[in-house]
Amino acid sequence: MLELVGAHLGSLASRDLKTRCAQRLGHSADSWAVRKRDLTPLSSSRWAGSLTRATHDQWALARRCQLAHIKGLEAGIRMLRHRLSQPVGAKGTKKTPGGYRSKHEWFTKSRRLGVLEDRLAAVRAEWDTGIVRVARGGKRLLNTRHHLEAAQIDTAQWRTRWEAERWFCQADGESGKPYGNETIRVTPDGEVSIKLPAPLTPLANAPRGRYVLSGRVRFVHRGGDWAARVETNRAVAYRIHYDVQRGRWYLTASWQRRSAPTISLTSALAKGVIGVDMNAGHLAAWRLDTHGNPIGHPRRFPYDLTGPADRRDAQIRHALTRLLHWALACDVRAIAIEDLDFAAERTREKHGRKHRFRQLVSGMPTARLKARLTSMADATGITIVAVDPAYTSKWGAQHWQKQLDSRTRKTTRHDAAAVAIGRRAQGHPIRRRTAPPPHDRSDRAGHRTVQAGPGALGREGTRPRIPGPRTRSVPPGRRANAGDQRPQNRSGHAAEHEPWQQEQLPLGP
């Protein structure tokens, strides 16, 4: 039954996507209503709403990808023009590369510039007219059809996977309806029933054209939150999909969370912060107190971004989950990360020969990690603070890496960068100290102005006045418990707490 419903609705989704792409930029609310009315007799009103909304989102995603492709081509063309304008063999700087190494490379890159300009002109023409290219089922799986031997599958297996990816069985929730969804209904005890489309209504085994599945579902992750929404008839969206490799059906539930209240930065940093340095294969983190001092030992949360997209996403979520759990265990309500964006650094036109560096930069999922961390931290009540990434690794290694080494711990450059990120989020300078004392007196210029406030405990202030001699050989209070030493004619216990005066010397024998 799920195969019949998915295949029927998938064909309607393909038809509606073709109609939506043909409208291009002429889409409006009226045309959307016309598409929905055309699909309603072949499915239902709610199925038609889910179909049109899904196809519109798919068209919008293709449109955003097209814009990102245009920006990438423009960045590559700008870099090619800059390097071609430089003399052959000219050296570059830290921020801008120089010329090409040989005349042959210069000639090759000049031809590539023409190729990129032609591609940009074609993509811009499609962007201006609203033409997008969408493949239901995925472009990668579509190209696999031409490389079955490399994928180690036959034609029948590929056809099964292709049809399963093109099936459609998802429905949006609606508050006030039984269990939060009228199309795909899931009861608190796990019973699933589906509102069949109009052509499949004779196959229903329940009243009002519904079909009750024989299997039961159970939500392990956030099952309590789902049960609370279902019992109060709040909206829950469901998606049913088939995993061909495992031969299993899966049901995914999702809902919209309430927007988190905005809190001030001072309140978020009241209990310290955890600085996080993002790297190609791990997250380096260190906890800092309210004064910017590292506490405890650094932590490292590794992840592996090899394999398919689902595995990479799971690796990122697992690393972020461990980070958030550690923050909750430390009772810290703020995590500081760098506001990184390597969109302009990933082009091969800037770092053509530096393959390892390009691979390193491409292995940093900056946008995905920030989006995942923001959404996951919202559920735990932790605030994310994005800081300027300029010189955090360099200055952290200069001012903190060697100073945090010990006999049992070797501080890395990434750990020191995490400290620098946390201090920048708190508004402190990355340097450990400021305003050093003069050479002759330690309190001549006043106390050190590091980062502690005037009311903070332990803040360096004016040295208290202690009566008695202040010499290096006899510190105040050193011999306070040494006993009465006056019979030995020594300066000690009695003289340390009284003003000292020279006795008069005898004038005669």
Determine the average pLDDT of the residues in 190-217: 93
What the block records as the tokens of 156 is 């029948």
Strands 282-288 and 294-302 turn out to be: antiparallel
Residue 220 lies in a domain: yes
Is the Cβ–Cβ distance between 295 and 288 less than 8 Å?
yes
Q: Does residue 169 have a pLDDT over 80?
A: yes
Between 43 and 508, where is the model more confident? 43
Dihedral through CA 265, CA 266, CA 272, CA 273, nearest 10?
10
Q: Are residues 43 and 115 in the same domain?
A: yes
Final residue belonging to a domain, choices 384, 399, 426 = 426
Question: What DSSP string describes 66-80?
Answer: HHHHHHHHHHHHHHH
Q: Are residues 383 and 324 in the same domain?
A: yes
Residue 189 lies in a domain: yes
Q: Does residue 212 have a pLDDT over 90?
A: yes
Neighbours of 151 (CB within 10 A): 15
Q: Are residues 272 and 421 in the same domain?
A: yes
Residue 414 lies in a domain: yes
d(CA 28, CA 30): 5
How high is the pLDDT of residue 266? 87
Q: Are residues 243 and 270 in the same domain?
A: no
Q: Are residues 92 and 191 in the same domain?
A: no
Please indicate, yes or no, whether the overall pTM of this predicted structure exceeds 0.75. no
Question: What DSSP string describes 137-182?
Answer: T-HHHHHHTT-HHHHT--HHHHHHHHHHHH---EE---TTSGGG-S
Q: Are residues 329 and 242 in the same domain?
A: no
Q: Are residues 376 and 409 in the same domain?
A: yes
Residues 421-476 have pLDDT tens digits of 999 999 888 876 655 555 555 555 555 555 555 566 555 555 555 666 555 555 55
What mean pLDDT is reported for the chain?
83
Q: What is the CATH number of the domain that holds 346?
A: 3.30.420.140
Q: Are residues 285 and 249 in the same domain?
A: no
Of the chain, the percentage scoring pLDDT greater than 90 comes to: 53
First to last CA, the chain: 127
d(CA 418, CA 496): 49
Residue 388 lies in a domain: yes
d(CA 245, CA 4): 20
Residue 54 lies in a domain: yes
Q: Are residues 109 and 234 in the same domain?
A: no
341 confidence band (pLDDT: 50, 70, 90) = low
Q: Does residue 355 have a pLDDT over 80?
A: no
Q: Would you report the helix, strand and coil content of the chain in percent, each value rounded to 5?
A: 45, 15, 45
d(CA 402, CA 416): 9
Residue 230 lies in a domain: yes
d(CA 121, CA 62): 18
Q: Does residue 405 have a pLDDT over 50?
A: yes
Neighbours of 296 (CB within 10 A): 8
Residue 173's beta-bridge partner residues?
none
How high is the pLDDT of residue 334? 92
| HSE, side-chain direction, 13 A CA sphere, residue 117 | 10
- Return the ∠ at Cα 381 (arms to 367 and 388), rounded to 5°: 40
Q: How far is CA 330 from CA 30, 319, 427, in A?
A: 54, 17, 21
Alpha carbon of residue 255 to chain centroid: 21
Residue 493 lies in a domain: no
Final residue belonging to a domain, choices 392, 426, 460 = 426
Q: Are residues 270 and 418 in the same domain?
A: yes
Neighbours of 179 (CB within 10 A): 20
What the block records as the tokens of 15 is 């038809």
Between 355 and 134, where is the model more confident? 134
Residue 432 lies in a domain: no
Residues 371-382 have pLDDT tens digits of 778 878 877 888
Between 167 and 493, where is the model more confident? 167
d(CA 495, CA 472): 16
Residues 255-279 have pLDDT tens digits of 988 776 778 888 889 999 999 998 8
How high is the pLDDT of residue 185? 94
485 confidence band (pLDDT: 50, 70, 90) = very low
Q: Does residue 493 have a pLDDT over 60?
A: no
Residues 278-336 have pLDDT tens digits of 887 889 999 999 888 999 999 999 988 777 777 878 888 888 899 999 999 999 999 99
Counted domains in the chain: 3
97 confidence band (pLDDT: 50, 70, 90) = confident
Burial of 303 (0-12, 13-18, 19+ CB in 10 A): buried
Final residue belonging to a domain, choices 212, 233, 254 = 254
Residue 252's beta-bridge partner residues?
239
Q: Are residues 242 and 270 in the same domain?
A: no
How high is the pLDDT of residue 357? 55
Residue 253's beta-bridge partner residues?
238
Q: Does residue 359 have a pLDDT over 60?
A: no
How high is the pLDDT of residue 508? 46
Look at 179-188, 318-327, 473-482 and tell me which has the smallest mean pLDDT: 473-482
How high is the pLDDT of residue 417? 93
Q: Are residues 289 and 320 in the same domain?
A: yes
Determine the average pLDDT of the residues in 22-41: 92
Look up the domain containing 81 and give its range: 2-130
Is the Cβ–Cβ distance between 274 and 330 less than 8 Å?
yes
Look at 127-141, 432-446, 488-502 and tell me which has the smallest mean pLDDT: 488-502
How high is the pLDDT of residue 365? 65
How high is the pLDDT of residue 50? 94
How high is the pLDDT of residue 467? 64
